[in-house]
Homo-oligomer: A and B are copies of this chain.
Amino acid sequence: MSFNTFGHLFRVTTWGESHGPALGATVDGCPPGVPVTAEMLQHWLDRRKPGQNKYTTQRREPDEVGILSGVFEGQTTGTPIQLMIRNTDQRSKDYGDIAEKFRPGHADITYWQKYGIRDYRGGGRSSARETAARVAAGGVAREALKVLAPGLQVTGYMVQMGPHGIDRARFDWDQIEENPFWVPDAQAAEDWAGYLDGLRKSGDSVGAVIEVTARGVPAGIGAPVYGKLDTELAAAMMSINAVKGVEIGDGMAAAALTGSANADEISMGPDGPVYNSNHAGGILGGVSTGQDVVVRFAVKPTSSILTPRKTITKSGEETEIVTKGRHDPCVGIRAVPVGEAMMACVLLDHLLLNRGQIGEDLPGKIG
């Protein structure tokens, strides 16, 4: 992680602002020979795309991704892949007021203090549009994972919207694609629709918790100490706009457990170790166990709201601000495909790192 690049062997550098001509990602270190087309990546971008239903920003961007390099005759060449998305709907007049005033809870003020210059037209680099580039890069990672770890499957979904959590007893993988919130609980989907509708009409916004699960991750991925898979995933998720908390497995709740309750007991299955529970979220000592890798992150509510808030101007005068424009009442919804993309990138990176240091087969056999 360094400013605008993440990853070690599979490295993604994103660039671009919300109201410039384009944004994108430079993907370096991808294995060669992976089938990749713009269509494959578009599939994932379409899931994140704004304006798809009344619950997300009405900004209408086709978010069409182009591949400018690194792919030849439908396959990755092993050299850097440039993914570019043009900005088409840059109705910057909506943002006029923000040029002088700082939105509370937004990067406006810190960007101004740090850089002394700021693309006020729409948050510039701090805009959530940056995450479109991550989703495109994550699409490349997913295709490479298909080749390297065929059974591996990354799925994100919402588990909490504002104060309303899902009921784990109703958890159903098949529900995730059936509602606009990617929530695995049909009842919650119904309840949340009404709740969010009210919020949208009031011009306010709300936070959310997203969970991303990777099934079929082989044991042995990750590294101890600063390269813990937990660490890498925490950094990946926390780097998403508006994220303020990250949990692996039981997360913050692990604090309340006793050692005897927290220990995921091990027995021997036909294909190796089997765990009787998964408090650890599939990671022990920073290295994957072969269980599901489970990460959750909290997205704070958008700071661009219609409710007037007290603030100051660049010249230091106290005032109030109301942010008009087209915003998401719950940006957390669109963070679901972003979290999936980050999970895919981190896992691919660590599969490559593991292959580099250890080789294609793990040396430690059990049984």
Contact = CB atoms under 8 A, between A and B. Distances in A.
Interface string A1-33: 111111011010111110011111010111111
Q: Which of A227, A289, A354 has the most CB of B within 10 A?
A: A227
Contact of A311 (B125, B266, B365): B266
Given A28-B3, A273-B312, A80 B266 contact: no
Contacts of A364: 111-118
7 contacts: A5-B226, A15-B68, A107-B224, A199-B258, A225-B239, A260-B307, A263-B305
A244 interface: yes
Interface string A273-292: 10010011101111111000
Interface in A190-243: 199, 204-209, 219-220, 222-228, 230-232, 234-235, 238-239, 243
A9 to B, nearest CB: 5
A110 interface: yes
A55 interface: no
A17 B259 contact: no
Interface stretch (A166-174, A180-188, A245-253): A245-253
Query: What is the copy number of this chain in the assembly?
Result: 4
Interface stretch (A44-52, A57-65, A314-322): A314-322
Contact of A305 (B9, B119, B260): B260
Contacts of A78: 114-115, 117, 357-358
A268 B101 CA distance: 13
Interface string A123-152: 011100010000000000000000000000
A352 interface: yes
A298 B234 CA distance: 13
Given A1-B235, A77-B124, A115-B364, 7 more contacts: A1-B1, A204-B260, A206-B259, A234-B246, A238-B248, A250-B300, A268-B318
